[in-house]
A and B are shown apart, each in its own frame.
Chain A
């Protein structure tokens, strides 16, 4: 029997004994929280959305059905898609009560990367801030797709499942998002210099 869902063992254990849900919680906490943080831009709001997500997932775990397909590959996880669908709803609900503030993640994203090299650390902070601002200026659907792709490292199929779109539509969203980010960074005069730096 081929196990299509990489989380199948943990999901079945948690369905049998809810206490075993802790393993799934630890595995996906940072990813869910990251999505909430990028979407809401507020530490406390992201925590609230994360809490709602996992409590709801635990309460409804008995109803979860694995639906991974053979073409999804060995690393596919329908549980992950299901969890992020819950997260998306929790974030949308949280957004209705919390006004999005885009400045908070900038500070968090620019923590010391090179603490022993002040000059490099300043450059890294500026570049990280510029990247975040470029993403933050995108329309919501493109920003969400890029965050799921680059931060949560989801596949196109997984993102399609979370966003409720076709894989082709997600590919176009990501492509257009990247082109917008490229224009934004080039407009700041960073594109050429950074490209030369990164390809060295």
Chain B
């Protein structure tokens, strides 16, 4: 117990530097304005935060309009306007524990990911064509809507389709299967009530679809997305299927790297600010090393740093495997999965008889069921 307490104390003292003061020179302002600020002796944002525009304008010789702009930039950046400037590591941990993850309907993958796809982080799914990237995206678009009393997050989703592979027929399959599954789990009145608004139609009405035909349309959409997210605060998932497609045909590679970096920053900002899980898919490409060829995710080395979690889907003979090969919170793991007519599922379910067994039986046999979490949450209730 003592060890536990001291661990918490350490976290409390670890005030994160994320939102601390930063040098004036790093603010997104024009060089002329920065020069005037520094010239007048303002070194960091902390020097500016309490000033009024008129004062600042007098001190620095900036026009009042410019001074206002500087202060807006400072407040927006530090979040100082809302009073809370920094978080301790403990608060951050508690915050993370409060936000639920999005289940994948594959209990093995959920376990490997530590409970599902984390909200507030970016996850990249890479894989060869036909291995199931789009299937997992569609499954997540439905799963994010599972009501909270069933262990879901009950959110909405924005789905950016760049390849044209969002086929309604398939979404209806996956949605219908998810509704059927949850209806089998209903035990109390709360869940019965939740099922009234968890139907195929409501699932479709909570998926907001955008088609982007090229990279400029994608960039435009991402620029406008923060407004959409503010208007739809229930959005918990942003899918881009795929990032690679509009960016594969590019002659100027340094321009591409720059655009992708900007895009990655926007995604991270949206994920944390609006508490959404960001899921992006990427294609695979062949890299030649000496005379050996190797399959690697597309879009280059630099892009690999953008997502928090990278998930690789691949074939091993006729089996499909999902490997986590970059994740700060989980060890590398590989699990097997299947794509069934119902969607993304665990691999070993086919050996089991169909789920005819009474649903109260939530013992260890449930661990091989596709959505152990749903069942486990039942036993908690």
**Do chains A and B stick together as partners?**
no
Residues of B within 8 A of A (CB): none
